[in-house]
Amino acid sequence: MSGSGLMTTYRPMSITFERGDGVWLYDNEGNQYLDCISGIAVCGLGHCHPKVTQTLQEQAARLVHTSNLYRISHQEELGRRLAEITGMDACFFGNSGAEANECAIKIARLYGHNKGIEKPNIVVTDGSFHGRTLATLSATGNRKVQAGFEPLVQGFIRAPYNDLEAIRKIAENNPHVVAMLVEPVQGEGGIQIPDDQYLSGLRKICDENGWLLMLDEIQTGNGRTGSYFAYQQMGFIPDVVTTAKGLGNGLPIGACLATGEAALTLQPGNHGSTYGGNPLCCATALTVVDTIMSEQLPAKALALGQRIVDGFKDQLGGQSIVREIRGKGLLIGIELTKPCADLVGLAREQGLLINVTADKVVRLLPALVMSEDQADKMVASVSQLIKSWAAN
């Protein structure tokens, strides 16, 4: 049994943080760390943003929870605000990205049943990550996430990512498909960015076959990739989009937004959440959303992300250990030629918090409020770290 009193679901590093300030974290021994992953894309406004902290304190002193038995003004205001920004019609609030994707999966299945399809299927992709609940891990395209939890939830058809022809073949041979669930960029899968025409091609296939196009923007949303949602750079609107992470800047809130027929699918009694959309989380998320938009942080993320990618290409482009440097806004990956999990510990010793995903990809998800000087420091420090590691 763990001496911590906790289930052994995590392998936490031997470090405890006491406070945060913007892109900086401070441990209980007073050491300072440059947070290059912002709580895995959660703290997009940095740690302890003054506006978020003020809203949180004021709302906590006024009202935290009532349940969804009653109207919640902040929930309705947040729903309207998100709809205004994204072009969607309606929103359901839960507590996490997994819950948001659960809601999307339920919309797809009910949408199919409403059309008379007895066993509706959803197309998902290899390399994806949609969460760790039973339905979302079944949708996930990573065997490591699924192993040991069989039997998985049925009704998912898997296809290679970034392969339109594979989706066309599924459409030709599977009349029970009702939807496609896909990430605009695969984050956990190693910052995999599809071809420019991939997502618009999916939109076309979905339209031709009466499928719902459902985008998982848990990691790409809330300004991280250069627009509020990544799809807004692609000239189309999905039927369903899910988000979480940066929406609450640290508070647990997820959202499933839908438009058209998908927005009308769930009726009273079909779905719910005890805590989801409570006054505390929604008031805070409203401040987060308004700050992202009023300070034009999506545009900043796009420009700063390009500066960072260019900086890494300058400093690491000639290194044989580096296979590829890629990014979309402030979602950045450096793919190496060999497994590099030990870089995380080496970075921490130098006051850097980074992440490794897909075994060989250094994943960087800095806060949208990171300055150019801080970004340059991150590029120089991470580049030197990789060079030193590769030389040993």
The pLDDT tens digits for 41-66 are: 999 999 999 999 999 999 999 999 99
Confidence of residue 138 (pLDDT cuts 50, 70, 90): very high
pLDDT of 188-201, one tens digit each?
A: 999 999 999 999 99
* Gap between the Cα atoms of 278 and 272, Å rounded: 12
pLDDT in the model for residue 291: 98
pLDDT tens per residue across span 280-292: 999 999 999 999 9
Res 4: pLDDT: 84
pLDDT at 1 over 70: no
Residue 212 CA to chain centroid, in angstroms? 20
Instruction: Please give the share of the chain, as a percent, with pLDDT higher than 70.
Output: 99
pLDDT for residue 392:
87
Read off the pLDDT of residues 33-46 as tens digits, 9 standing for 90 and up.
999 999 999 999 99
Question: What gap in Å lies between CA 233 and CA 214, rounded to an integer?
Answer: 16
Torsion-angle region of 267 (φ positive above 0: left; ψ -120 to 50: alpha; else: beta): beta
How high is the pLDDT of residue 92?
98
H or E stretch at 125: strand 121-125
For residue 29, name the pLDDT band (cuts at 50, 70, 90): very high
Residue 291 makes CB contacts below 8 A (sequence gap 6+) with 45, 49, 51, 52, 297
Confirm whether 216 is a catalytic residue: yes
Question: Is residue 310 among the annotated active site residues?
Answer: no
Confidence of residue 2 (pLDDT cuts 50, 70, 90): low
Report the DSSP beta bridge partners of residue 355.
Answer: 363
CA–CA dist 353, 12 (Å, integer): 13
Q: Using one digit for the tens of pLDDT, what is the confidence trace for 210-265?
A: 999 999 999 999 999 999 999 999 999 999 999 999 999 999 999 999 999 999 99
Yes or no: say if 216 and 101 are a contact pair by the CB < 8 Å rule: yes
pLDDT of residue 353: 98
pLDDT tens readout for residues 327-366: 999 999 999 999 999 999 999 999 999 999 999 999 999 9
Active-site pick, 229, 239, 245, 328? 245
Is residue 134 over pLDDT 70?
Answer: yes
Catalytic-residue membership of 245: yes
User: In sequence order, which residues have a C-beta less than 8 Å from that of residue 87 and are 6 or more positions away?
Assistant: 237, 259
| Of 216, 229, 300, 328, catalytic | 216
Of 92, 93, 126, 129, which residue is the catalytic one? Answer: 129
What is the β-pairing status of strands 24-27 and 212-216? unpaired
